[in-house]
Amino acid sequence: MLRAGALRLLLSLLACFALTALCGCGGGDKPSSSALTFERLSDTTGLSHGAAVLLDFDAYRMPGGSLRVKAHLRLPEGTRVRVALRPAGNDAVVAMADVPVLDGLIETPPLMAETGPLPVARYRFELTAQFAPAMQPPQVMRDTDDGKSLRGPGVTRGRHGEAAFTHVEEMTR
């Protein structure tokens, strides 16, 4: 007959063996793969191919020193475009305006800092038009099939398929 200590040792070993068998490696009959894969998003092929969306761009000083941005865009009438102005090498927005496309043109109101005209410096000008119902008028969403019909340089899609147009340009003004 086994002594009590030997019985406890045997039961402990059996319990460890049972736990190991139950836990296993968890792989089942699934093949393991270490191959690198990439997420494929729908409707992204060829988005940047097509006619230019941005036809011309200019940022200029007004007589009082404030900056204005003017651009001709191939976007539907009424498309809302955000113009953000950041110092080069800095992510802080120093001026911003949301403007509609009218006759293929956007032109911002005078852009200034809270303290007055922005100093002459190198700035990053960012134009963005996001095609989501909260960002664009209903007619623009209809005209662009919710942004899905947009193509050309600067056109992208977000993770959920929403379209956007973006242009970034740095210049001293």
Residue 92 falls inside a structural domain: yes
Q: What is the pLDDT of residues 67-119, one digit of tens each?
A: 999 999 999 999 999 999 999 999 999 999 999 999 999 999 999 998 999 99
CA-to-CA distance for 154 and 168, rounded, in angstroms? 9
Residue 15 falls inside a structural domain: no
**At 58, which CATH number?**
2.60.40.10
Number of domains in the chain: 1
Is residue 33 predicted with pLDDT exceeding 80? no
The predicted model scores a pTM of 0.73
Q: How confident is the model at residue 155 (pLDDT cuts 50, 70, 90)?
A: very high
Is residue 141 predicted with pLDDT exceeding 70? yes
CA-to-CA distance for 150 and 159, rounded, in angstroms? 16
Between residues 158 and 132, which one has the greater pLDDT? 132
Q: Which of 3-17, 44-58, 128-142 has the lowest mean pLDDT?
A: 3-17
User: Taking CA 73 as the corner, what is the angle to CA 50 and CA 106, rounded to the nearest 5 degrees?
Assistant: 165
Residue 11 falls inside a structural domain: no
